[in-house]
Amino acid sequence: MTSTLDLPTQCDTDDTTATSSPDTDLNTSDLDGAAPADAAPDGDTSSTDVKESPLDELSDEDRAALHARWDAEIDTIVRADPHTVLLAENVRTADAEADEDTTANFKTHGVKTAVNGYRDYDTGAIVVTEGQRRVLNAREAGCTVPVWMKTPPPADERKATIERIVNQFIENDPALRRSLTLSDTARALQQLAAFNLKPAGIARKLALGRQGKTYVENVLRAGQSELALKASERYDLDLLQAAVIAEFDEAGDTDTAKELILTARTAPNNFAQLAERKRTERADKQRLAALTEDLTEEMTAAGVTIFEQSLPDDGDARSLDRLRPTPEDEPRTELSAENHASCPGHGAWIETDHHDEQGNQIPVAVYGCADFLAHGHALSYAPAGRADFTPVPTSTGTSVDDESSEDEQADEVAVARAAHAAAELERQKARIIRKWVIQNNKDWDASAAPRRKWLVGLLQRKTAPQGAQLFLALQKAHGGYALRRAFERNHPLAMTLLYLPDGATLADLTSKVAKAPTAGKATLYDLFLTLCAIEADLSRNSWRSPWDSAQAYMAAIIGWGYPASDVERKVIDPETEQEVIAAQLGDLAADPTIDGGTTAEGDESGGAEIDDPTAVVDDVDDAGADEQTGAQTDHADGDAADGTGPEAVEQDTAAEAELIGAAI
């Protein structure tokens, strides 16, 4: 006989008796009544605490018959009222209480797995040694609990205690338990869905609780993607991560799906923000493609040549902002698109990394010349009378005057080169800062949805987190602008996150808060309203130049368990433009003429890498290989204030995601 029998549901409406033992002269219910549930507190109750029992009034013959009946119970299943059984001391102290989801499941299905227990022959009470949580949840659910009856422990207290601890440890040892894999779970739910059961119906059938419908939806979504299922099992991803990966894989965006897998492994705090950003980018990409097509048609109709290659930094083709009309014009003389329109080399590149005043990405035409030397133009900073920085050759026979002329020419070229190098360096810096701002703005925008979802989840707790009262007192004492504005506007963000209907008033919000069942819940509402006020005041500027209230807010929610992404942690420890430039250009940021900087011809060499540094997973095929090479972010996920959170890792997502895909 095993302890995992398929037992029929036994709820408080059943007529089943307390045990399955044969009839005796002494009613079983009388014995259970001798050891009521309140005889001693749960967790430290033992049969030795009971001093008096109806058994004391029995004759020796009746007592022997009763003991014989109990002997026959050993290795059988006895159904017992959970309120009458006693709980032995248990090694589990954390989470040793009933929970809503399990209780709801027991109300629907009863207790499917028998607990282990024995009969105390002195009192007749059933003592449960393994399965205290099942008993506690059965009490809440009003169901009987099946008890697999064991031989009573030895009389030697030392041996009995050792035996109890060992058995309880084995009972709770996760190494001995194997949950269903996500693939198995998905297949099971897909089979149920094939019978036209909706996610809500499946959740009800399985008694999955309040979040059951969402759970079923996520499992079914993850089950549609082989990539998500394999990644989940190989890299131990959670269900929500698998569902998000499946979302992109099923949409045909496998590259993003692989990038998300990599992020889940190396920087999980960035996962939700990355997924949200990719969703936004997917919509923006469609909008940008339409705008680019319109601009292309407009320029083609105007007779403007569109250069297919990307905007170059060197070579014969140059953008007009780097040219002057002719070598005879003064250095840095402007060459406008209007004046250049008649040039045979006139054309434009279409850049798509520009943004309008609202921060929306837009295409922009950058005008240039296909071959500035062939068409008589000059580099903007080239010496007067010259098209570039190439020295003018002298005659073979040199005189003192010729040597003096060469020296003057060299000095002139050197000065022009230095000016050109400085201008190019400023361009690089501007490009780096623009890329930095654009990327972090996108990440910041994407972080709002996961952060606000976490705020909603915070309100589901029963009590406020540790330190909340001090945080609230400080915010109220300061009385910052964000709080005042929320009061004046009747907490619009809080109303939205509380799912109050459109047109809801302050009275509706007040009514909801007034229904707080406990003081702890009321404090949670206070905290929620305060956090929402500060959250509503955050902007794209928060990651660059945060207010004190924003820093206190971010530090607080991180301390309370929010897995902040890298860009959100910048609120606490902002980067400066100087730090970003130095990280990209190194010594070149201070001296543009050093090796690896601008060459004599004014062209950027390969020594200065402008793009973000990368980190490479050495061996993705090894599930445990997390060694990283290359540069990491300036500060880890855990900020200097609290040191919490996983270490942030910058990623060459294209290369690494390809490795991920190959491994899976």
Residues 6+ apart with CB under 8 A from 499: none
Same domain, 227 and 347: no
At 219-238, the pLDDT tens digits run: 998 988 999 999 988 888 88
Same domain, 253 and 339: no
pLDDT-based confidence at 565, cuts 50/70/90? very high
At 493-535, the pLDDT tens digits run: 999 999 998 888 999 999 999 999 999 999 999 999 999 999 9
- pLDDT at residue number 624: 35
Same domain, 454 and 598: yes
Same domain, 456 and 598: yes
Task: Let me know if residue 430 belongs to a domain.
Answer: no
Task: Let me know if residue 566 belongs to a domain.
Answer: yes
- pLDDT at residue number 594: 56
Task: Let me know if residue 650 belongs to a domain.
Answer: yes
* Percent of the chain whose predicted confidence (pLDDT) is above 70: 77
Same domain, 209 and 97: no
Same domain, 102 and 46: yes
Does the pLDDT at position 52 exceed 80?
no
DSSP line for 522-534: HHHHHHHHHHHHH
Higher pLDDT, 598 or 116: 116
475 backbone dihedrals φ, ψ, rounded to 5°: -65, -40
Does the pLDDT at position 24 exceed 60?
no
pLDDT-based confidence at 54, cuts 50/70/90? low
DSSP line for 228-289: HHHHHHHHT--HHHHHHHHHHHHTT-HHHHHHHHHHHHH-GGGHHHHHHHHHHHHHHHHHHH
Are the C-beta atoms of residues 138 and 103 closer than 8 Å to each other?
Answer: no
What mean pLDDT, rounded, does the chain reach? Answer: 79
- pLDDT at residue number 302: 92
At 365-417, the pLDDT tens digits run: 999 999 999 999 999 999 988 898 887 665 555 555 555 677 777 778 888 88
| Host domain of residue 376 | 285-423
pLDDT-based confidence at 35, cuts 50/70/90? very low
Task: Let me know if residue 646 belongs to a domain.
Answer: yes
At 311-340, the pLDDT tens digits run: 776 778 999 999 999 999 999 999 999 999
- pLDDT at residue number 607: 35
The pLDDT of 628-657, averaged and rounded, is: 40
- pLDDT at residue number 397: 52
Number of domains in the chain: 4
> What is the pTM for the complete model shown?
0.55
Same domain, 306 and 406: yes
- pLDDT at residue number 619: 32
The pLDDT of 57-77, averaged and rounded, is: 88
Cα–Cα distance for residue pair 82/104, rounded to 1 Å: 16
Same domain, 609 and 470: yes
